[in-house]
């Protein structure tokens, strides 16, 4: 063990290398975080026989009404590959942020009644996304569950805290006087997107923008922080062998 520790700490010295060394052989020649995490997963999941082995955390939802037709696919353990098309340019940009910064693989295809306005298209997409996210989480075995992320975008700041609790609740605050439109995106829809997502994903979500000036920045930092918080909360904790609730279910 001494030798292993010695090797790992050379050139590194951080906590992660220390943790990696204790776990052992997989870290030879690596020392980076990814190698560490990969090895821990490999070790923990081998021979366990649990859900994690070969686990795919994927959700797919199709939702068709007289107003919209939506198809959403999400892989929680992706790499941020995104293919999004809703017909609302700024909303596509936001969903792109969600996938890329959440490291979710995300496909969204929405054909909505844009001849009326963007409301149904945006809302129904968010409902389907929430449902797909919940589906992908499955029984939530082994997840981190709680997470927060704070993301600035120039002068704007978003603070997002999430509990993948099984109970829908949204708390949302934004600065007063945000410009009403960003392209064809109505900025009052941001709260409606979050409400819709929360209702279907069944999570507690607190999103605060304590300050910001530019409407584009104010909305975008919320989606970036949401992406990060959802990513951290949905990640598999290698030390968490069960469902992270004293109730035994989430």
Residue numbers at the binding site for Mn ion (CB under 5 A): 123
Residue 103's contacts (CB-CB under 8 Å, 6 or more residues apart) are: 78, 79, 80, 231
Least CB distance to Mn ion at residue 48 (A): 44
Least CB distance to Mn ion at residue 215 (A): 20
Least CB distance to Mn ion at residue 185 (A): 14
Q: Dump the DSSP string for 37-70.
A: HHHHHHHHHTTT-STTTT---EEEEEEE-SSEEE
Per DSSP, helices labelled H in the chain are 2-9, 15-23, 33-45, 89-102, 119-137, 189-201, 215-234
Count CB neighbours of 95 within 10 A: 27
Q: Which is nearer to Mn ion, 164 or 207 (CB)?
A: 207
Least CB distance to Mn ion at residue 247 (A): 32
**Residue, CB closest to Mn ion:** 123
Tokens representing 154 are: 């120039």
Least CB distance to Mn ion at residue 129 (A): 15
Q: Which is nearer to Mn ion, 35 or 117 (CB)?
A: 117
Q: Which is nearer to Mn ion, 105 or 123 (CB)?
A: 123
């Amino acid at each position: 063990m001494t030798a292993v520790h010695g090797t790992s700490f050379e050139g590194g010295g951080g906590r992660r290398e220390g943790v990696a060394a204790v776990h052992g052989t997989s870290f030879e020649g690596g020392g980076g975080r990814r190698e560490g995490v990969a090895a821990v997963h490999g070790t923990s999941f081998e021979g366990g026989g649990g859900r994690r082995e070969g686990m795919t955390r994927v959700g797919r939802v199709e939702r068709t009404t007289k107003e919209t037709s939506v198809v959403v696919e999400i892989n929680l353990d992706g790499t941020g590959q995104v293919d999004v098309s809703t017909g609302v340019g700024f909303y596509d940009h936001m969903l792109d942020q969600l996938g890329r910064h959440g490291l979710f693989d995300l496909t969204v295809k929405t054909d909505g009644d844009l001849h009326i306005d963007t409301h149904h298209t945006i809302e129904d997409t968010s409902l389907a996304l929430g449902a797909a996210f919940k589906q992908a989480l499955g029984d939530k075995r082994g997840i981190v569950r709680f997470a927060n992320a704070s993301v600035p975008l120039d002068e704007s700041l978003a603070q997002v805290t999430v509990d993948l609790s099984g109970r829908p609740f949204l708390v949302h605050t934004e600065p007063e006087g945000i410009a009403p439109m960003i392209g064809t995106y109505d900025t009052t829809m941001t709260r409606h997107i979050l409400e819709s997502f929360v209702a279907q994903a069944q999570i507690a979500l607190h999103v605060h923008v304590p300050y910001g000036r530019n409407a584009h920045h104010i909305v975008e930092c919320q989606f970036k922080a949401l992406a990060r918080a959802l990513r951290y909360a949905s990640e598999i904790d290698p030390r968490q062998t069960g469902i992270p609730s004293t109730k035994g279910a989430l």
